[in-house]
Amino acid sequence: MAPLDGITILDLTHVLAGPFASMTLQDLGARVIKVERPGVGDDTRAFPPFVDGESAYFATLNAGKQSIALDLKAEADRAIFERLLSRADVLIENFRPGAMDRLGYGWAALHARLPRLVYAAVSGFGQTGPEALKPAYDMVVQARGGVMSITGESNGPPVRVGASIGDIAAGMFLTQGILAALYQREKTGEGALVDVAMLDSQLAIQEHSVAITTATGTAPGRTGARHPTITPFATYRASDGFVVIAAGNDAMFARLCDALGLKLADDPRFATNAARCQHHALLKRLLEAVTLGETVSHWIAVLEGAGLPTARVQDMAEVLRDPQILARNMVLPITPRPGGPALTATGNPIKISSLKEAAARPPAPALDGDRQAILDWLAG
C-alpha cells in the first residue's frame, strides 16, 4: 500500500501552489480529482512550451490526475460536486478568501455538513489579515516577503529566484498541513481548516535573513552566490567555468587550504568563520588566484578527494543527464495518451521503503476527460 491509498482529494486549484501540493499527495498514493472550469480548465493548459498542442508545463504538474469540468454556479454541476464532496477526504482551493463562501462551499459551511472533510486553502496573503483579499503571484510574494532583497549581485538590482519558490514553498507547507490534518482526523474524527499563505511561506524559509536582522538590527543585502554567514561558501572561477566551494567549518577550511596549496588556515584574518566572513572579498581573490589555473573537472576531483562538498554549476540539460539524478529515479517519462505527445516529468523526491518507485507517470488528463469514469464511481 502507498501511504495515502484510499484518500480522495478534490483539487479546485490552478497554476502552481495547489497543483504542486496535490501532485505530492498523489505521489504518496492519493487519488486526485481535478475540478476545472468548463471550456478553459487550469490556466497552465495554455502555458508554453507546447508539444503537439499540449502544455508540457501542465503535464508535469498534473500527470495522473483525473479531470472533471464543473461550473459551481450551475445547478446540475453543483449536484455532481455535492456528490464528490460526500466522497472526498480533502478539498484544496486557491481562490481569494470569501469566493468559496459566496458559492456556499466555504470552510464553515462544509465543516458543519461534512465534519471529516479536511479543507485546505492556499492564497497569496492567507485567510486573515488586512490584506487577505489582495491578489498575488509568485513574484509578488518573493518581493513582499524579502526574498528578492537578498537575491542577486551586491551591485545589481533585486532578482527573482529562478524557481517559483513563492508558489512551491507554499505548496510544500500546504502538503505538510494536509498530512497533519489527516493524521489528526484519525484521532479526533474531525477535519480541519489548513490555511497557507504564500507570503508567510516566504518568511518561513529565510532562516539566516531573520537571524541577521533580529540580531543586528540591519537587514542583509544581496550577496550573489555567497552565503552571508559562512565563508568560503560560494562559486569560484576556474579556467573553464565555475566550481562551488563550500567549507562549512574551520576543519574543512584547513583541508581546503591544504588541497589548494595555500597557507591561510592559521592567518588571523581567516582562522575562524567570523573572520573569514569579515574578509570574504580578500579570501575570494586569494582562492581564485589558484582556481583560475585549472578546469572545473580538475577542482571537482581535488576537492572531492579532500572530502569537501563541491559541485559544478549545471544547466538543466546537464541535470537531466546527471547519473545521480537518474539513479534516484528523478526523471520519468509521461506515458502518452493514444496519439498524444511524449513528455518528461520529475520523479517523486520522497522515498519511502513501502512505496514502490514508478517507472513512468500516467498522462495528464484532458479537460473533463474523466467525467464519465468519475460519474460511474459516484454511482457505484
Q: Among 119, 129, 64, 57, which residue's Cα sits nearest to residue 93?
A: 119
Alpha carbon distance 123, 137 (integer Å):
9
Three-state helix/strand/coil letters over the chain: CCCCCCCEEEECCCCCHHHHHHHHHHHCCCEEEEEECCCCCCHHHHCCCEECCEEHHHHHHHCCCEEEECCCCCHHHHHHHHHHHHHCCEEEECCCCCHHHHHCCCHHHHHHHCCCCEEEEEECCCCCCCCCCCCCCHHHHHHHCCCHHHCCCCCCCCCCCCCCHHHHHHHHHHHHHHHHHHHHHHHHCCCCEEEEEHHHHHHHCCHHHHHHHHHHCCCCCCCCCCCCCCCCEEEEEECCEEEEEECCCHHHHHHHHHHHCCCCCCCCCCCCHHHHHHCHHHHHHHHHHHHCCCCHHHHHHHHHHCCCCEEECCCHHHHCCCHHHHHCCCEEEECCCCCCCCEEEECCCCCCCCCCCCCCECCCCCCCCCHHHHHHHHHC
Per-residue pLDDT of the chain (380 residues; tens, 9 = 90+): 899 999 999 999 999 999 999 999 999 999 999 999 999 999 999 999 999 999 999 999 999 999 999 999 999 999 999 999 999 999 999 999 999 999 999 999 999 999 999 999 999 999 999 999 999 999 999 999 999 999 999 999 999 999 999 999 999 999 999 999 999 999 999 999 999 999 999 999 999 999 999 999 999 999 999 999 999 999 999 999 999 999 999 999 999 999 999 999 999 999 999 999 999 999 999 999 999 999 999 999 999 999 999 999 999 999 999 999 999 999 999 998 887 888 999 999 999 999 999 999 999 999 999 999 999 999 98
Neighbours of 358 (CB within 10 A): 15
User: In the prediction, which pLDDT does 32 show?
Assistant: 98
Instruction: Give CA–CA dist 236/285, Å, rounded.
Output: 9
Q: What whole-number distance in Å separates Cα of residue 16 and Cα of residue 166?
A: 10
In this prediction the pTM is 0.93
Half-sphere exposure of 26 (CA within 13 A, CB side): 25
Domains and CATH numbers, the chain: 8-205+325-379 (3.40.50.10540), 233-313 (3.30.1540.10)
Q: Which three cell numbers stand for residue 366?
A: 484532458
pLDDT for 332 equals: 96
Q: What is the pLDDT of residue 339?
A: 79
Query: Which amino acid is located at 282 in the chain?
Result: L
pLDDT for 179: 98
Pick the closest to residue 27 from 247, 355, 330, 294 (CA basis): 355
Which one from 227, 279, 280, 298 is the annotated catalytic residue? 227
Q: Check: CB of residue 244 under 8 Å from CB of residue 311.
A: yes
> In the block, which residue shows the cell 596549496?
261
Structure confidence at residue 175 (pLDDT): 98
pLDDT value at position 270? 97
CB 45 within 8 A of CB 368: no
Residue 227 annotated as catalytic: yes
**What is the structure's pLDDT at 28?**
97
Task: Identify the pLDDT of residue 206.
Answer: 94
Cell of 113: 455538513
Query: Would you state the pLDDT for residue 337?
Result: 83
- φ and ψ at residue 204, rounded to 5 degrees: -65, -25
Q: How far is CA 57 from CA 48, 170, 247, 278, 361, in A?
A: 7, 18, 37, 43, 14
Which residue, chain included where needed, has cell 523526491? 349
What is the Cα–Cα distance from 16 to 44, expressed in whole angstroms? Answer: 8
Angle at 361 between CA 359 and CA 364, to 5 degrees: 170
